[in-house]
Chains A and B, each alone.
Chain A
Amino acid sequence: MTNELQFRDPALARSLAATLARLVDEIGRPVAVMHVCGSHEQAIARFGLRSLFPKALDVIMGPGCPVCVTDVPEVDEGVVLARQGVRIVTFGDMLRVPGTVQSLADAQASGANIEVIYSPRQAIEIARETDEEVVLFATGFETTAVATAAVILDNPPKNFSVLSAHKYIPPVMEIVAEMPGSRVEGFLAAGHAAAITGSAVFEPFVERHQVPVVVAGFEPMDILAGLVELLELIRNKTPRVANMFPRCVSAEGNIPAQKQLWRVFKPVGGKWRGIAHVPNGNLRLRDEFAHVDARKRFTIDLPSLWDYAPPALAGQCICGDIMAGIRNPRDCRLFNRECVPENPVGACMVSNEGTCKIWHLYGGVPDLEATA
């Protein structure tokens, strides 16, 4: 699909960046916008796009990393099940997220049967090939939840069940928009999640908070063009939902997928790691799917983990503030010292979409002007 490479054309990128600079100048003051998608932060960091953004534009990463926001008790549930001898399959992203005492990787090192998969489909195949119980520790936002829903609806084998730690993103945007002291003037919304939910899902949010939301894709050009559109809306003081990812997103989204999603899952309030309570932010299996719900099939003895003292450094972790966009990794005393990807203290350093991990990997906001 060589066309996709046009979305990585550096010359076009520089033109869009120059347009961004011009818009920021016209607005005449510093502007802060937020994206709520770890994959956006990944793309920005990977392609070194921050060096193209005008200095007066602050593109903040909000709580858009589903792995990071997976709360400690949820990880603990997976760890406890694993230690109880149940076979767990999960995505690579989750393996190293710290729980109260252990991550799944630590449990694996202690002998637990934990396997990394790429697709929920593989979980079904694994369950079919064995008699033992197989639990899919399912994480990710709505984009991934639809895949989990699809396998649940497709007659899964009796030894298969799901421990759902899926999350739903629109509610957390409300929380961020309502945070006192928030200087965020616009949001960049995640293109792949919007492919499922549709761009219209943001309209009530825009109505309530009078800030623009632009749905953007993940290629460098998509991100830059998305930011240009967002700044235009801010400059013109015309808050609305703009879809800058029409090749994958429509206003109404993927309706059959939405139907499957809400048939299998219900949104419940829950704590997102570090962010406090997000009403309707967690996706749990509906009662009629109790037969594939690992929380109903197994007794998960969480207190058994708490005989150990929690890691002493956890108290100094500021992942919550980082995920809310209030502080950045350099504000954290542990960043790149005690907290590094090999030995993470907080989830932001574990997930490939975590702000701290990304800043660690890609050097944060590069001060690399010296290296011409």
Chain B
Amino acid sequence: MCLGVPGRVISIHDYTAVVDFWGVRKDVRLDIVDEPVVPGDYILNHVGFAIRRIAPESVAETLELYEMLLRENAGGEDDLMALDVRAEIAGAS
């Protein structure tokens, strides 16, 4: 329920990592993250603590998951067209 922002670990000293968020850097504590974290890893930051390590392949996996959702529910070429048209109508109204 909370602001969780992903960032990339630049360096680590003891339990503190310097993490890059879109070009700004902040210290983030590693006391409660459950996997070993090394520079180059992505973590999810909440109130200055890393609460998860984000596996790098998981972003691509998630996007594939969403594409699959679309394909499952598209029901064929014609329906993709219908989807587009409906989207156009929805977007324009």
Q: Which residues of A contact B (CB under 8 A)?
A: 1, 3-4, 6-7, 12, 14-19, 21-23, 36-40, 52, 64-66, 91, 118-122, 140-141, 143-144, 146-147, 149-150, 153-154, 169, 190-193, 195-196, 218, 221-222, 225, 228-229, 232, 244-249, 254-257, 260, 353, 369, 372
Contact = CB atoms under 8 A, between A and B. Distances in A.
Contacts of B84: 18
3 shortest interchain CB distances as A-B pairs? A119-B48, A247-B58, A192-B4
A121 B45 CA distance: 13
Interface of B is mostly: mixed
A4 B63 CA distance: 10
A254 B49 contact: no
Interface string B1-32: 11110111000000000000110000001011
Contacts of B63: 6-7
A118 to B, nearest CB: 6
A232 B47 CA distance: 34
B32 A39 contact: no
Contact of A22 (B2, B29, B52, B73): B73
Contacts of B83: 15, 18-19, 22
Interface string B66-91: 10011011100001000110110011
Contact of A248 (B29, B52, B73, B87): B52
A257 B51 contact: yes
Contacts of A19: 69-70, 73-74, 83
A23 B49 contact: no
A254 B1 contact: no
Interface size class of B (residues with CB under 8 A): 35 or more
13 contacts: A17-B87, A22-B83, A144-B2, A192-B2, A192-B46, A218-B4, A232-B72, A244-B65, A254-B34, A254-B51, A255-B34, A256-B32, A256-B34
A12 B3 CA distance: 23
A48 B62 CA distance: 23
Interface of A is mostly: helix
A246 B65 contact: yes
A149 B29 CA distance: 13
B51 A143 contact: yes
B2 A247 contact: no
Given A18-B90, A19-B69, A19-B83, A118 B4 contact: no
Contact of B32 (A169, A190, A249, A257): A257
A88 to B, nearest CB: 17
B44 interface: yes
B49 A146 contact: yes
Contacts of B59: 3-4, 6, 247
Nearest to B69: A228
A4 B6 contact: yes
A16 B63 CA distance: 12
Nearest to B88: A14
B46 A147 contact: yes
B44 A195 contact: yes
Contacts of B92: 372
B2 A141 contact: yes
A246 B49 contact: no
Contacts of B65: 225, 244, 246
A195 B47 CA distance: 14
Contacts of A18: 83-84, 86-87, 90
A118 B3 CA distance: 11
Contacts of B51: 143, 146, 192, 195-196, 254, 257
A60 to B, nearest CB: 16
Contacts of B33: 254, 256-257
B72 to A, nearest CB: 8
Contacts of A353: 1
A7 B54 CA distance: 15
